[in-house]
Chains A and B, each alone.
Chain A
Amino acid sequence: MKKLLLFLCVFASVSPMLGQRLWLLPQLSDVDSSFYQSAIVLSINADAGFRSNSIENEMVDKLLFGGHIGNDVIQRAYDRMAPLGRMGAQSDANFTFQMMSDSLFGNAKWGWQGKVQSRIHLESSFNKGLFSAVFRGNGGEGEVNQNVDAYLDFMQYQKFGVGVFHKPSMSGFTFSAVNGQQFERFRNTESSLFTSSESDSLALEHNIYYGRSDTITSGFLSGDGIGVSFDGVLNVPLKGSKGLISLEVFDLGFVAWNESTITNRSRDTWSYTGFDLNEILDENQETVLPSYPDSLEANAEVGKEIRLLPGRLEMRLLHQINLNDFFEIGMSFRPVDSYEPYFRAAYFYHFTSRTLVGAQVATGGYGTVRFGISAEKWFGKNWYVAVGTEDVYGLFSKQGLGMQGTLRLSYLIQRNAS
């Protein structure tokens, strides 16, 4: 079952960075550009996967599905962190439509488009010391001082958007109403776990923020928050139709979470020096095992909170090499510690006018260097399919640092023959 889910996870996903190139450079070679003549383009997209700069697929698999994580796996993850461990995962399912035949306010080059999207986003960064404390322990000689900073952000939301697009360049934008379903955010900064040289005391210095949305209501479209979002893409053709420069913005917006949102803050030092033998002597037949506090004391507040969506800015350049091939370089940014600037270089080749294949190398984001492949193809007059992955190794190796793939399925409703 889990292998099947992994398979679905990888191949039922789509990355905006990998899809629709076959649509963007119709000027190349004799590429099929008949989609311009369709009436409506309907597309279903899904995206899910994870990536890390240090945590191997085997470890993720065992954290999720059980099993003993070997010391070698933990040690390799630890060695890769320099000094921050990063991890991201997302699931994104959306349906879009683009009105190819209609004109917008009398301008035939513009059309309406719309989108319904559901997205889960999770990202985390954690200090090497935290990973060590959790997965390797605090053993060793002398004093041990482990920096245990960590950040985790989880958000789940749905978008309902309408917008316009420029047909020749496929540029456009969409404004969306956002339904915030759930969020949780944890951040621990300036924190350390101190173990004394004699092992007679543990001290956890922490500065914790933890917030979460309303826990009374939950589930799809629960409406714990509302917001707005902007998505846009600007494709600028290069001179001589040699390619294009693309600038894309995703999920630029926010959700105002409702008045039942809970935030907890705790800045303190929690110390543990062992259980008190005197208590046992005072109260016969009481427990002999140490008991730990269930939770750290925190100042809790309940009230509205505004949170930015996990937006992303992307730029890319597509440039023709020969008649049948082109290269692409791209980058993306997110202003969080867990996401490093992402860079990508790819080469694409048209096998036929309706088939495009490519290979790419990427680095950054939540992970490290990885190599991917992709393919896009038109089937008949109505169907378009794009598949690919940016990490071939990760698909097949337990030691890979993530899994990712793309799938985009589009259906073209043709114009009425009359």
Chain B
Amino acid sequence: MLLIGFVSCKRDEPTSWDIAGRAPVARGVIDWSDLIADSLLEVDEAGILHLIYEQSLVDLGIDTLVEIADTTVSKQFEPGFAGGPIEIAQGTSIISLDENINLNVNSAELREIIVKSGVLTYKLKSYVGGQLDVNYSLPGVIVDGEGLEIDVTTESADGIVPWEYSNTVDLSGASIDLQGTNGNQFNKVASLLSVSAAASSLSPIPVFGDDSVTVELSFQNVRIDYARGFFGEINGEINEAINIEPLANIAGGSLDLETLSFELEIKNYIGADAQVTFNEISGARNGEEVFLNHAIINNQINITRAIDNDGGITPNNYAFVIDETNSNVVELFELLPSVLNVVGDITLNPLGDVSGGNDFIYTAQPMEAVFKADMPLCLGMNGVFFRDTLALEATNGPLVGEGKLNVRALNSFPMNAQITLRFLDEGEQEISVLLEDGNVSAGIASGGAYLANESNFSVNITSEVLASLNAASKIILEVTMNTEGEDLVKMYGEEKIDLLITAEGSIQLSYE
């Protein structure tokens, strides 16, 4: 017990001591797959590595043409006489009529839709003091293969308090005819109402002239899978800034490229004609911008409608190959753009309703423009500058000691690299520089490959550096790369850096 008291006595300060240690800190083989996703890399027949990047430039926003806003309608039906009450015999018809319900469709004139998702909520109210047989049908709303029908026998209203009945129908997959009661309208849902004294009622029911039956319908969150009609003549703008992911970590520098292929393809899956004009395509980085010079710029592209073969779409595609022979695209990509800006105009149905109200769209396949850049990695690098930010995990306590980090790099990339490491605090402000321009020498060309070149350097870890580490929340890794001489160097895909970082020195261990 004395010993327990002895040990559990409050400690005045942490226990600490100094050790001389050495240990591996980090290692890794950095190859092309660590820099660029494997799916973007291909080796051609000549053994040259290509960066192939495909991305949708713009979806041209046409799928929003056929949006249906939430629609709520309330219909009140009255018997058509004044005064009363009139005793209505069982089974006798009181109301029978058909009406259209207008859907809140934007500018399009839709004849038919297939719903991707959405619900129809309905509510019946009867102010009649007896039982009614109510049949309300929407024959154009086909759910699970059958027209939607609401068949209810109401109970007697309680004075001025109506009898109510409500329900919700899931419209996912439903097809809706929007041609109204006469079959040649648009954006209208036909409805039929039949109200009669309930056949099952034990006695005739008293009906007053101001009695009524109310039907409330609400189409909510309706998303369209397919639509047919006339989408209207619409003018739109294209103004897109597309991030080029493979180049996202490059903070500066430029390339020398020999060739580059940039293919722009417009794919029209919509059953409507269009005209597209690209007013500007440019690449930008750090305030610098290179504008594409090519025949496609400022020239109207007429796009013919797709053909619907009962659900199988035959699109119309328009492809343009942009390369060093017909444009300045090489110059554009030598900038290593982080963003591709696309500015233009688009007009849908420039000639009006030439399809007789038979435009169509499958919203999963809108009109799109995609680009595919094929960059053979035969290049020169001029201060290409990678920057990456790595979060630092908080240590259990402050590190105290001094020593050095030893870095060994076996580099078979054919470019020299200078590595800098900086500590940042939580406010992203630089605290100190851990390493400045640690040199990694380029690999040595040998036939169709590069031999690894070994570089070694050390980083002194002083007490000031450890103090910075204790205060840092992030570390910035900067790598500047240059190829030697004027000649372009070819990448074969086997290039890599084998990195080993070890630490040695004295450090203070402690525990509370």
Which residues on A are within 8 Å of B, measured CB to CB?
1-2, 5-6, 8-9, 12, 46, 48, 62-71, 74, 89-91, 93, 118, 120, 122, 134-140, 195, 198-202, 272-278, 280-282, 284-291
Which chain A residue shows the least CB distance to B499?
A277
Q: Taking A1-B10, A273-B27, A289-B395 as contacts, is the C-beta distance between A139 and B20 under 8 angstroms?
A: yes
Q: 1/0 per residue B392-413: CB within 8 Å of A?
A: 1101000000000010000000
A53 to chain B, nearest CB (A): 20
Q: Taking A65-B9, A288-B392 as contacts, is the C-beta distance between A9 and B25 under 8 angstroms?
A: no
Q: 1/0 per residue B486-500: CB within 8 Å of A?
A: 000000000000011
Contact: A286 with B6, CB < 8 Å?
A: no
The CA of A89 and the CA of B29, in the complex, are separated in Å by 51
**Can you name 27 A-B residue pairings with CB atoms under 8 Å?**
A5-B6, A6-B6, A64-B9, A67-B16, A74-B17, A93-B2, A120-B1, A120-B3, A136-B20, A140-B20, A198-B500, A199-B23, A199-B406, A199-B504, A200-B500, A273-B27, A274-B23, A274-B25, A274-B500, A276-B26, A278-B28, A278-B30, A280-B390, A281-B35, A285-B391, A287-B392, A289-B392
Contact: B30 with A286, CB < 8 Å?
A: no
Contact: B19 with A137, CB < 8 Å?
A: yes
B313 in the interface (beta carbon within 8 A): no
Which chain B residue shows the least CB distance to A70?
B17
Contact: B504 with A276, CB < 8 Å?
A: no
The CA of A276 and the CA of B392, in the complex, are separated in Å by 15
- 8 nearest interchain CB pairs? A277-B28, A139-B20, A137-B19, A274-B24, A91-B3, A137-B21, A287-B393, A199-B502
| Chain B residues in 8 Å Cβ range of A290 | 25-26
Contact: B27 with A90, CB < 8 Å?
A: no
The listed residue (B9, B15, B393, B502) touching A5 by CB distance below 8 A is B9
B384 to chain A, nearest CB (A): 17
Which chain A residue shows the least CB distance to B503?
A199
Which chain B residue shows the least CB distance to A273?
B24
B426 in the interface (beta carbon within 8 A): no
| Chain B residues in 8 Å Cβ range of A8 | 2
The CA of A25 and the CA of B390, in the complex, are separated in Å by 78
The CA of A68 and the CA of B18, in the complex, are separated in Å by 9
The CA of A190 and the CA of B2, in the complex, are separated in Å by 35
Query: In terms of DSSP, what is the predominant structure of the interface of chain B?
Result: strand
Contact: B25 with A275, CB < 8 Å?
A: yes
A131 to chain B, nearest CB (A): 11
| Chain A residues in 8 Å Cβ range of B2 | 5, 8-9, 12, 46, 48, 91, 93
Contact: B393 with A289, CB < 8 Å?
A: yes
| Chain B residues in 8 Å Cβ range of A62 | 15
Not counting A199-B503, A274-B25, a sample of 5 additional A-B residue pairs whose C-beta atoms are within 8 angstroms of each other reads A67-B13, A93-B1, A120-B3, A200-B500, A278-B29
Contact: A285 with B390, CB < 8 Å?
A: yes
The CA of A326 and the CA of B16, in the complex, are separated in Å by 48
B181 to chain A, nearest CB (A): 60
Which chain A residue shows the least CB distance to B501?
A274
Q: Total A-B pairs in contact (CB under 8 Å)?
A: 159
B288 in the interface (beta carbon within 8 A): no
In this complex, the member of A67, A69, A93, A200 whose beta carbon has the largest number of chain B beta carbons within 10 angstroms is: A200
The CA of A277 and the CA of B2, in the complex, are separated in Å by 51
B5 in the interface (beta carbon within 8 A): yes
B377 in the interface (beta carbon within 8 A): no
Q: Taking A65-B11, A278-B29, A287-B393 as contacts, is the C-beta distance between A91 and B23 under 8 angstroms?
A: no
B57 to chain A, nearest CB (A): 25
The CA of A118 and the CA of B9, in the complex, are separated in Å by 20
In this complex, the member of A64, A74, A202, A274 whose beta carbon has the largest number of chain B beta carbons within 10 angstroms is: A274
The CA of A287 and the CA of B472, in the complex, are separated in Å by 12
B26 to chain A, nearest CB (A): 4
The listed residue (A12, A140, A200, A289) touching B24 by CB distance below 8 A is A200
Contact: B17 with A68, CB < 8 Å?
A: yes
Contact: A281 with B391, CB < 8 Å?
A: no
Which chain A residue shows the least CB distance to B25?
A274
The CA of A287 and the CA of B502, in the complex, are separated in Å by 18
Which chain A residue shows the least CB distance to B27?
A274
| Chain B residues in 8 Å Cβ range of A138 | 20-23
The CA of A278 and the CA of B4, in the complex, are separated in Å by 48
The CA of A385 and the CA of B319, in the complex, are separated in Å by 108
The CA of A129 and the CA of B73, in the complex, are separated in Å by 87
Which chain A residue shows the least CB distance to B391?
A285
Contact: A200 with B389, CB < 8 Å?
A: no
The CA of A251 and the CA of B2, in the complex, are separated in Å by 20
B44 in the interface (beta carbon within 8 A): no
Contact: A282 with B18, CB < 8 Å?
A: no
The CA of A62 and the CA of B17, in the complex, are separated in Å by 10
The CA of A139 and the CA of B502, in the complex, are separated in Å by 12
A204 to chain B, nearest CB (A): 12
Q: Taking A200-B502, A276-B28 as contacts, is the C-beta distance between A288 and B393 under 8 angstroms?
A: yes
B475 in the interface (beta carbon within 8 A): yes
The listed residue (B15, B29, B505) touching A66 by CB distance below 8 A is B15
Q: Taking A1-B9, A5-B9, A285-B391 as contacts, is the C-beta distance between A272 and B4 under 8 angstroms?
A: no
The CA of A113 and the CA of B334, in the complex, are separated in Å by 99
Contact: A69 with B17, CB < 8 Å?
A: yes
| Chain B residues in 8 Å Cβ range of A284 | 388-390
| Chain A residues in 8 Å Cβ range of B25 | 274-275, 290
The CA of A207 and the CA of B391, in the complex, are separated in Å by 36
B356 in the interface (beta carbon within 8 A): no
The CA of A285 and the CA of B393, in the complex, are separated in Å by 10
Q: Taking A69-B15, A290-B25 as contacts, is the C-beta distance between A137 and B5 under 8 angstroms?
A: no
Contact: B11 with A137, CB < 8 Å?
A: no
The CA of A22 and the CA of B393, in the complex, are separated in Å by 66
Q: Taking A5-B9, A137-B19, A277-B30 as contacts, is the C-beta distance between A90 and B391 under 8 angstroms?
A: no
| Chain B residues in 8 Å Cβ range of A289 | 392-393, 395
The CA of A27 and the CA of B449, in the complex, are separated in Å by 100
B14 in the interface (beta carbon within 8 A): yes
Which chain B residue shows the least CB distance to A74?
B17
The CA of A6 and the CA of B5, in the complex, are separated in Å by 10
B160 to chain A, nearest CB (A): 65
The CA of A362 and the CA of B210, in the complex, are separated in Å by 118
B20 to chain A, nearest CB (A): 3
Contact: B22 with A139, CB < 8 Å?
A: yes
Which chain A residue shows the least CB distance to B388?
A284
Which chain B residue shows the least CB distance to A8?
B2
Q: Taking A91-B1, A274-B500 as contacts, is the C-beta distance between A9 and B6 under 8 angstroms?
A: yes
The listed residue (B3, B35, B502) touching A89 by CB distance below 8 A is B3
B310 in the interface (beta carbon within 8 A): no
Contact: A5 with B5, CB < 8 Å?
A: yes
| Chain B residues in 8 Å Cβ range of A90 | 3
A130 to chain B, nearest CB (A): 13
